[in-house]
A and B are shown apart, each in its own frame.
Chain A
C-alpha cells in the first residue's frame, strides 16, 4: 500500500524554444521514497528537477507538490552541484547554511534561524565546522554544507542534482550512508550518473531520456541502462568497500 503522494507529474511537457525536450510525462513520488534518477546528458534530468523545484515552468501539464503547485511550495530542499560555486566567495559554512532559512529578503537572521542552521550542520556531521570558510573546506564537506543548507529549509523532500560528480570514492560512500539515514525522515530524489547509488537503500529508479521510465531497482544492469540510454553504456566496477557499478554515457 503506497503512502501519500508528495510529487505528482501530470502530463508534463517542456520545450527549449521550438525544440521539445519531452512531452506527456506523468509519474508519482510517494512520501518516504528514495528515488534515483539516471539518464544521459541532454535527456532532461536536470530540466525535470528544475520543473519540480519551480525554477522552470512547464510548457504543458503540471507538477503538484503535496497538493500545491511547484514554485509556490516550500517543501523542497534543493542541493545543486557544488562545482558551480565561486571558490573565493566570502562566507563561512554556517552563513552558507543560514541562507537555507531565508523566507524573505529583508531583515536579519533570527535566533531560530541560527538554531535551524546549527541543527542542520549537526545532522550532516559538521557541527564543529560552522566557523570555517566555505572556500577552505574539502569537496566532501562542501557537499555536506549544501545538504545542511537544504535541510535548514525544513523540507519534506530532498532533491540532489548530481552531488557526487567530483568527489572521491570514500566521500561517495559516506554520502550514500548519509542519504540512507536522511531517508528515514525525508523523501529523497537523487540525480546521478553513478549507478553505485542504485543500491539496497534506493526504493525506485527513474531513467529520464526525453521521457520518463521506471526500472526495478534490482534489475538495473548494463544491458537495461544501455537500452534506456539508446546506446551502449560501459559500467565499471569500483574497488572500494561496497562493490557497485559505476557508469556514465561518456
Chain B
C-alpha cells in the first residue's frame, strides 16, 4: 500500500496519478448516470455504445498516424459515442425497426470499423489496449476533457433530475403530464454515451459497462430513493476505482480487469449478504 501511495507522488510514473484522478472524476458521472441506466434497464444500450466507440478510437489513431493529426483518441470516441447514441435513441423510439437488432448491429459494426482502422494504421497498434483498457493510454490533457464531460453530465442530471426520475418510474404517465419524454430519453442516452467515454481508456470498451452498472446495483441494495442510490453509487465507484488501481499496482496486474473483477466480487458478496439478512 505504501508503495502505491509513493507511486502516486512519483513524477516518473504520472499515469498512476492520472488513472486515480480519472477514476475519481468519472465516478461522479458513472454513479449518477449508472443509477439511471440500472433503474431504466438500458444497460444493453450502454454496452452497444461503448463497443461502437472503437470505431472512433480506431479512426483517430489511423488519422493521427497517416495525416499527422494530434487528436486524442478520446475525441474520436466521443464523436462515435454521440452518433451511436442518437441513432439508438431514434430507433428505440420509433416503431418501424426492431430496436434490438439495430442496437446489436451498431455494437458489432462499430467494433468492426475500429479494428479495420487499427489494422490499416502504419506501425503496430495493439487493439487489446482499447478493448480491455490500458492506463498508459491516458494523457494529461485527457483529464481536462474528462473533467469537462463530467461537469456537463452532472449538471444535466441535477437540472433534469425530476424528468429523468419521472420517465424512469413511469414514462407513459410523464407523457400525459405533457413532458417531452422523447427528448429526455434521447438526452439520457447521450449522457450515457458521454459517461462511457470517460473511462474507456482505463478499463476498455468491453468492461466499461460493468463500471456503469455494478456500483449502481450495489447502491440499490441499500437505498430507497433514486438520489440516494446515485450518491452512494458515486462513493462506491470512487472506492472501487482507487482499490482496483492500488491492487493492480501491488499485484502487477492490468488495472481495468482488476477493478472490474473486484467490483463484481464485491457485488456478489453484498447481494448474498443482503439475501441472508
Contacts and interface: CB of A to CB of B under 8 A. Distances in A.
A66 B183 CA distance: 28
A99 B169 contact: yes
B176 A95 contact: no
A107 B39 CA distance: 21
A99 B176 contact: no
A106 B177 contact: no
A105 B184 contact: yes
Contact of A74 (B41, B175, B178, B180): B178
B176 A107 contact: no
A9 B29 CA distance: 47
B275 interface: no
Q: Which of B175, B224, B226 has most A Cβ within 10 Å?
A: B224
A133 to B, nearest CB: 4
B179 interface: yes
Interface stretch (B47-55, B79-87, B121-129, B160-168): B160-168
A86 B220 CA distance: 13
Interface string B225-252: 1101100000000000000000000000
A109 B178 CA distance: 17
B1 interface: no
Given A102-B174, A106-B160, A107-B162, A90 B225 contact: yes
Contacts of A99: 162, 165-166, 169-170, 173-174, 177
A86 B39 contact: yes
A90 B178 contact: no
Contacts of A105: 160, 162-163, 166, 179-180, 183-184
Contact of A90 (B161, B179, B224): B224
Contacts of A85: 169-170
A78 B173 contact: yes
Contacts of A74: 177-178
Nearest to B178: A74
B71 to A, nearest CB: 33
B172 interface: yes
A38 to B, nearest CB: 22
A92 B224 contact: yes
Given A99-B165, A105-B184, A55 B175 contact: yes
Interface in B162-212: 162-163, 165-166, 168-170, 172-180, 183-184
Contacts of B174: 99, 102
A108 B162 contact: yes
Nearest to A73: B178
A208 to B, nearest CB: 19
Contacts of B160: 105-106
Nearest to B223: A90
Nearest to B168: A89
Interface string B30-60: 0000000001010000000000000000000
Contact of A106 (B39, B41, B163, B224): B163
B166 to A, nearest CB: 5
B187 to A, nearest CB: 9
Q: Which of A91, A103, A108 has most B Cβ within 10 Å?
A: A91
B153 to A, nearest CB: 15
A232 interface: no
Q: Which of B159, B166, B220 has most A Cβ within 10 Å?
A: B166
Contacts of A198: none
Contact of B39 (A89, A95, A153): A89
B165 A91 contact: yes
Contacts of A140: none
Contacts of A100: 173, 177
A211 B159 CA distance: 45
Nearest to A94: B225
Given A99-B166, A102-B166, A149 B180 contact: no
A57 B241 CA distance: 48
Given A53-B176, A86-B39, A106-B159, A80 B225 contact: no
Interface of B: 39, 41, 159-163, 165-166, 168-170, 172-180, 183-184, 220, 223-226, 228-229
7 contacts: A53-B176, A80-B173, A100-B177, A102-B166, A104-B179, A105-B166, A106-B162
Given A74-B177, A105-B163, 5 more contacts: A78-B176, A89-B39, A92-B225, A105-B162, A105-B183
Interface of A: 53-55, 72, 74, 76, 78, 80, 85-86, 88-92, 95-96, 99-100, 102-109, 133, 135, 149, 153
The 5 closest A-B pairs by CB, nearest first: A105-B163, A133-B224, A99-B166, A78-B176, A53-B176
